[in-house]
Amino acid sequence: MYRATTFSIRVTATPHFAPERSEPGMGRYFWTYTIEIANQGDIQVQLLERFWRITDANGGVETVRGPGVVGETPIIEPGDKFSYTSGCALTTASGLMSGSYRMVDANGRAFDVEIPAFSLDSPMERRILN
C-alpha cells in the first residue's frame, strides 16, 4: 500500500499482480490497482482529470491523460472516500506508476493531487538488491 496526501486529499494505491491475465512467455504482464481517494478536508472536491506516468523495467515511459477515472468525475464530500480499480499492462516483469489528479473544490479552486509512486512487481522477476 502506498499513500500521499495533498491539500487534505489522501490517495492510497494498492497494486496486485494478475497472473491470470499475464503471459510471461509472450512478454505480457498485467497488474490491477485499487485507488482510494479520501477527502480529509472540510470542503467538497471533484476529480476532473487524471495524469499517469508509467515506466517499465527498461526505462520506457508512457503517459496517460484524460477526464475523470473509470468513466466518472466523482464528487467527494468532506469525510467521504471514493475508490476504483483499474489495470495496467507492461511488456516487462516490473515497472512503476505515478501521477496526479486535477481536482476542483466547491469554491472553484483547481489544484493537483499527487498519486503516490507505486511499484509493479511480478513474482516472475528475480529481485536484486544493490
pLDDT, tens digit, for every residue of 70-94?
A: 999 999 999 999 999 999 999 999 9
Domains and CATH numbers, the chain: 2-117 (2.60.40.1470)
CA gap 112, 98 in Å, rounded: 13
Mean pLDDT of 113-120: 97
Q: What is the pLDDT of residue 126?
A: 60
Instruction: Identify the bridge partners of residue 64 per DSSP, sorted by sequence position.
Output: 52
3-state secondary structure of 18: coil
Give residue 123's pLDDT band: very low, low, confident or very high (50, 70, 90).
confident
Sign, CA dihedral 114-117-120-121, equals negative
CA gap 97, 57 in Å, rounded: 11
8 A C-beta contact, residue 2 and residue 12:
yes
The amino acid at 117? A
DSSP 25: G
Average pLDDT taken over every residue of the chain:
94
**Grid coordinates 512467455 are at which residue?**
25
Query: 10-14, 36-40, 89-93, 124-128 — which is least confidently predicted?
Result: 124-128
